[in-house]
Structure 1
């Protein structure tokens, strides 16, 4: 494992959709450190950081900001396994097409689309590589299905003058991540439930390591990555019981487990009731299936093509996440 963060020559101007989100803002900060001018769009404007207000479903209000931009990184999405299908499709699929169209029209040279390892579905070989078929869930998870559909949109619109690349991140954790905030909230609510004794794989990648991989991708020769798909994971042999058990211990709580044949239908009912009552809830069968995956993605391609190696160890990453939670008063 390298301890030195890469600092290559990156594009001089980068535009990020979802620039105010966990990944977007962290990537933007690193690109600025490397000398890039970074702008973007998000649901909430941040003029000090060049972020305009807007949505991916209507780029007409912000497409002018793409003029002169060298690369677009598309992170904006509805990240929910229980979002209504129509809403998830409009943002994650049709929105991706609209952002790509706006990028092509503005003459942007590079378009990097953030998909997810969810595109492989829930059952795939250990250390799966990018050439393995994508797989939808047939409506069980709107996130999996629409992320998979969004990849087809990007690849179908290649060779239009803008070079396209798809990134499939593993489970990106770190200070401020949903993979830290939500489990802690679920532990506090006594709702942290794992299927099958927590034997499923948590395919972790620390946020700084993910950003480093993105930086190397943006710095790579465009022709070498045009039309390519890249996994970004750390290949850690980490179970859900180990990861979520660690977070639960921060609050003095415990993780419950049930057989998936019991947990999935039970959470279908519980989650539906909570959402009807106006509560924010991701509880449902898709969550249980996701936490029951038994394989990791391979990062061999990222190593060979981009020269990427994680700079932050898991022990350091989880320690930084705990310190953030302490600072935020979450534990």
Structure 2
């Protein structure tokens, strides 16, 4: 495979590049800064300097490639809608335009279970669950629009597939785990309703496994959920996840109903009054982390041969060992 990767300096992108190179594939990765150039080069890719703002400038980087993995996205819990729309929707439009113009044959979009967030509880959902017209929150709604766009342009000449990992975690995470750690250390962390509900998860290695299989075997115009297998109790998993960083999650808890109300008020106040910073809790955060969210990856297992080979136990051991290696040693 000759692959082009967007978002190659990000968590999923770096791991994707490493996996592609490990099996002998040629990889070119989009890099918009000197820091990104260094990151994708270290991962093993040939950097292609540019960004998502111009399809014509993207096209030369994709020429000669047969597959594009689109992992770039604006992933925030709060921010200006214009930033989400420009990166997640308009950026995806331009990557698709450039890929088709360059003669790329297959396109794999890294999507998310968040595209389904509309207030209904997501319990054991599969790919037949309809994507709402306007999911709750700027990140879910723009990712949903991007996914619809990707799947809608599938054709015999240009195969497009989406993968939806739920709760991507693992060594090198620069998003979720650091946010949890910071919340505990700043004494802002609390369980919602005790936190004893189920959640699906997806180690980054399993996300990459699914993306590679989607590139090879995915049916055009289809989406596939990716998980670590059986759901876990959210509180148990987060407690173990934080423990790998030497952090105690504690026992502070807020009733789920109160958390939901506070999240709704936060969206309303910050969204209408344009207050500085971000609300203490958004509806998107509560709906994704404050109650059960479980999805089925049976379709990926059946159609792609997906296994989710990295176990949760292995992933936790890696995180613990990595933290121990990076922690300052004392005599």
2:140 is matched with 144
Q: TM-score, normalised by structure 1?
A: 0.85
Q: Residues 75 and 41 from structure 1, CA distance in 2 versus in 1: closer, same or farther, beyond 3 angstroms?
A: same
Q: Residues 176 and 310 from structure 1, CA distance in 2 versus in 1: closer, same or farther, beyond 3 angstroms?
A: same
Aligned with 1:225 (options 212, 219, 230): 219
Aligned with 2:29 (options 8, 23, 40): 40
Q: Is the 8 A contact 2:239 2:248 kept in 1?
A: no
Q: How many residues get paired? A: 314
Q: Residues 179 and 134 from structure 1, CA distance in 2 versus in 1: closer, same or farther, beyond 3 angstroms?
A: same
CA distance in 1: counterparts of 2:328 and 2:146, whole angstroms? 35
Structure 1, gaps ≥5 residues long: 1-10
Match status 1:107 vs 2:103? yes
CA distance in 1: counterparts of 2:52 and 2:255, whole angstroms? 39
Give the C-alpha shift of residue 169 in structure 1: 1.0
What pairs with 1:54-203 in structure 2 (closer than 5 Å)?
54-121=50-117, 123-124=120-121, 126-135=123-132, 140-159=136-155, 161-177=157-173, 178-203=175-200
Give the C-alpha shift of residue 118 in structure 1: 0.9
Q: Residues 235 and 295 from structure 1, CA distance in 2 versus in 1: closer, same or farther, beyond 3 angstroms?
A: farther
2:231 is matched with 237
Q: Is the 8 A contact 2:100 2:158 kept in 1?
A: yes
Q: Residue 24 of structure 1 aligns to a residue in which SS?
A: helix
Q: Residue 39 of structure 1 aligns to a residue in which SS?
A: strand
- 1:262-309, Cα deviation, whole Å (9 max, x unpaired): 224546659959x9666x887423212211342411111111111111
CA distance in 2: counterparts of 1:258 and 1:129, whole angstroms? 30
Larger RCO (CA within 8 A; separation ≥ 6): 1
Q: Is the 8 A contact 1:83 1:143 kept in 2?
A: no
Aligned with 1:22 (options 5, 11, 18): 11
CA distance in 2: counterparts of 1:213 and 1:58, whole angstroms? 29
- 1:224-282, Cα deviation, whole Å (9 max, x unpaired): 51111111112333122112222344323415321233224546659959x9666x887
Compute the RMSD of aligned alpha carbons: 2.7
1:319 is matched with 317
Q: Residues 330 and 305 from structure 1, CA distance in 2 versus in 1: closer, same or farther, beyond 3 angstroms?
A: farther
